């Protein structure tokens, strides 16, 4: 018997099959082979057609069943992970009324900033645990203001994962966790935020029925069965945003445990049971997958937009044809890159800098002595330093850091990057060979919510290696402090 996991990203749809009894991964793949289109008809806009997600979900599921050579009738249930903060608006027959405004769209920043000022820091920090920011609620307000004819026809709003669950089951529902991602959840009163909805002039009836993360959220209907190749009646039993799901995939459930992601952007996701936040405009606080009213577990998320994209840009504009070659040249350069510094924030406004866009800066190059290797090492160090800088912000906002776990992705494959982070924060970094789709598939069987046994299985099956802090940390401290001074000078004048 098997579980199936979906991870609905903005670049592709990933799907995985795991054995129900052991959690062992059978096969993972993604669709399309290249990246899905993101439409940007104006600067800082980003939209996708939800129908494209569904098209690739159907194709990916059919492929994984065929290529894994399994009996589709032996799939017991489905877990869904998805790109966070997106807005999908449906009419009364369930059709999208417009493209989804996805996570990296910045059009609603000023709407969210005004809401933060008008509602007040105290309310946002105590009830929402966040500034309304550029999240789902603010994006819906943008539709209300700028596309009133579309807004009038909205029957329900959804996050991307809610929409895929709806296409599978015909049930329009969402989760507390999803609502918290949209900054629509009132933690203090354990309900949808009436104050924010009233402030934005949004009818509460637009919010779908709320279901729990781990329960029967609906069954695959006849139409979805025909389109996906799944058996009719399979239950959807799990749903979470990609970052909480990534943490689940890495056995992150308890205060002091931290998940780190080093892809195009970087994410530090620290789990806490402290609902207080002094940084509600710089750090996101979301209900974690094991959040309950009685045991409120929160994921404190700090996003670094300019992370892996910086290293990819260097690869695309250098003589190297692989990250391995870049890493090899970087390893020949001493800690601190002989004075070369890279400030790696060139991928839009950074929330941890209060939505300032400070760009990428390459500093202190000596044209006579510095080489490509210096640039590569400085970029890896600069990205690592940005993670450390973010962790300092998290620690200042009531987050403990006892252990860090990360997937075996591009940045964490680099010894320079991982050793730099581990050494500066003084904690080991455990590396695991897993993915969001595998995590979602395994979570489909977590109806009993036995997180301890679930985590022990991950530790047993997926652990690859552990980076330990290096004993000689002085060169790393000196390099980081120099970088930090440069960064803070840039911030001062932006």
Report the sign of the C-alpha dihedral through residues 328, 331, 336, 339, in that order.
negative
Position 461 scores a pLDDT of 83
Question: Which residues share a beta bridge with 418?
Answer: none
**Topology alike, domains 2-245 and 251-433+450-494:** yes
- Token pair 């934005």 is found at 200
Question: Which residues share a beta bridge with 268?
Answer: 260, 302
Cβ atoms within 10 Å of 316's Cβ, excluding its own: 8
Position 124 scores a pLDDT of 93
CA dihedral 45, 51, 53, 58 (to 10 degrees): -170
What is the domain partition of the chain in residue ranges? Answer: 2-245, 251-433+450-494
Phi-psi region of 266 (alpha: psi -120 to 50; beta: other; left: phi over 0): beta
The SS3 of residue 409 is coil
pLDDT tens string for the chain (494 positions)? 999 999 999 989 999 999 999 999 999 999 999 889 999 899 889 999 999 999 999 999 999 999 999 999 999 999 999 999 999 999 999 999 999 999 888 899 999 999 999 999 999 999 999 999 889 999 999 999 999 999 999 999 999 999 999 999 999 999 999 999 999 999 999 999 999 999 999 999 999 999 999 999 999 999 999 999 999 999 999 999 999 999 999 999 999 999 999 888 899 999 999 888 888 888 999 999 999 989 999 999 999 988 988 999 999 998 888 999 999 999 999 999 999 999 999 888 788 998 788 899 999 999 999 999 999 999 999 999 999 999 999 999 988 898 899 988 778 989 999 999 999 999 999 999 999 999 999 999 998 888 888 988 888 889 999 999 999 999 999 999 999 999 999 998 87
Rounded-to-integer distance, Cα 460 and Cα 412, Å:
20
Position 104 scores a pLDDT of 85
Residue 264's nearest CA partner among 410, 45, 83, 47 is 410
**260 contacts 268 by C-beta, under 8 angstroms:** yes
- Cβ neighbours of residue 327 closer than 8 Å, sequence gap 6 or more: 376, 380, 413, 414, 415, 416
Position 46 scores a pLDDT of 93
Phi and psi angles of residue 344, each rounded to the nearest 5 degrees, phi first? -95, 35
Instruction: Please provide the DSSP assignment of 252-319 as one string.
Output: --STTEEEEEESSSEEEEEEES----S-TTTSEEEE-TT--SSS--EEEEEEESSSHHHHHHHHHTSS
Angle, CA of 323, 328 and 330, to the nearest 5°: 90
Rounded-to-integer distance, Cα 116 and Cα 133, Å:
8
- Token pair 């906002």 is found at 397
First to last CA, the chain: 56
**327 contacts 284 by C-beta, under 8 angstroms:** no
Structure tokens at 304: 């670094």
Position 277 scores a pLDDT of 85
- Token pair 């690739």 is found at 56
Architecture of domain 251-433+450-494: 2-Layer Sandwich (3.30)
Q: How many residues does the chain have?
A: 494
Position 34 scores a pLDDT of 86
pLDDT tens digits, one per residue of 276-304: 888 888 899 999 999 998 999 999 999 99
- Token pair 């129900």 is found at 20
R_g (Cα) of the chain, nearest Å: 22
Rounded-to-integer distance, Cα 375 and Cα 371, Å:
7
Q: Which CATH superfamily is domain 2-245 in?
A: ATPase, nucleotide binding domain (3.30.420.40)
Q: What share of the chain is helix, strand, coil (3-state, %, to 5)?
A: 40, 20, 35
Rounded-to-integer distance, Cα 342 and Cα 133, Å:
28
pLDDT tens digits, one per residue of 13-43: 999 999 999 999 999 999 999 889 999 899 8
């Amino acid at each position: 018997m098997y579980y199936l996991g979906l991870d609905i990203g903005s670049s592709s749809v990933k799907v995985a099959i795991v054995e129900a009894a052991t959690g062992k991964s059978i096969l993972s793949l993604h669709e399309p082979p290249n990246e899905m289109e993101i439409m940007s008809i104006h600067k800082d806009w980003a939209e996708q057609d939800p129908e494209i997600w569904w098209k690739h979900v159907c194709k990916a599921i059919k492929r994984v069943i065929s290529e894994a050579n399994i009996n589709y009738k032996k799939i017991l249930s489905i877990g869904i992970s998805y790109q966070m903060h997106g807005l999908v608006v449906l009419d009364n027959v369930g059709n999208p009324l417009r493209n989804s405004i996805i996570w990296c769209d910045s059009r609603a920043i000023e709407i969210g900033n005004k809401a933060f000022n008008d509602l007040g820091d105290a309310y946002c920090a105590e009830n929402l645990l966040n500034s309304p920011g550029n999240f789902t609620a603010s994006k819906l307000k943008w539709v209300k203001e700028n596309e009133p004819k579309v807004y009038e026809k909205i029957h329900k709003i959804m996050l991307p994962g809610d929409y895929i669950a709806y296409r599978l089951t015909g049930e329009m529902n969402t989760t507390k966790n999803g609502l918290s991602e949209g900054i629509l959840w009132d933690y203090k009163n354990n309900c949808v935020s009436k104050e924010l909805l009233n402030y934005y002039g949004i009818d509460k009836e637009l919010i779908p029925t709320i279901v729990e993360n781990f329960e029967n959220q609906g069954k695959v209907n006849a139409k979805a069965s025909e389109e996906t190749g799944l058996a009719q009646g399979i239950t959807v039993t799990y749903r979470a945003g990609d970052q909480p799901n990534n943490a689940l995939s890495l056995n992150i459930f308890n205060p002091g445990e931290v998940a780190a992601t080093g892809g195009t952007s970087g994410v530090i996701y620290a789990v806490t049971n402290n609902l207080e936040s002094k940084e509600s405009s710089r750090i996101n606080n979301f209900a974690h997958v094991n959040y309950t009213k009685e045991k409120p577990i929160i994921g404190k998320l700090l996003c670094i937009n300019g992370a892996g994209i910086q290293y990819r840009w260097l690869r695309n504009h250098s003589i190297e044809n692989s990250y391995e070659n870049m890493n090899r040249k970087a390893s020949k350069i001493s800690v601190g890159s002989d004075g070369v510094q890279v400030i790696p924030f060139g991928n839009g406004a950074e929330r941890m800098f209060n939505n300032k866009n400070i760009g990428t800066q390459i500093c202190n190059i000596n044209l006579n002595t510095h080489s490509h290797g210096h640039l590569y090492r400085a970029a890896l160090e600069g990205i690592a330093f940005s993670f450390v800088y973010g962790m300092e912000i998290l620690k200042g906002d009531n987050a403990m850091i006892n252990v860090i776990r990360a997937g075996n992705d591009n940045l964490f494959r680099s010894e320079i990057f991982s050793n730099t982070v581990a050494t500066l924060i003084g904690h080991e970094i455990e590396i695991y060979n897993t993915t969001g789709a595998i995590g979602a598939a395994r979570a489909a069987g977590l109806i009993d919510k036995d997180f301890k046994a679930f985590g022990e299985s991950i530790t047993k099956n997926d652990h690859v290696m552990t980076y330990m802090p290096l004993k000689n940390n002085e060169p790393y401290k000196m390099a980081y402090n120099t970088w930090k001074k440069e960064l803070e000078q840039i911030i001062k004048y932006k």
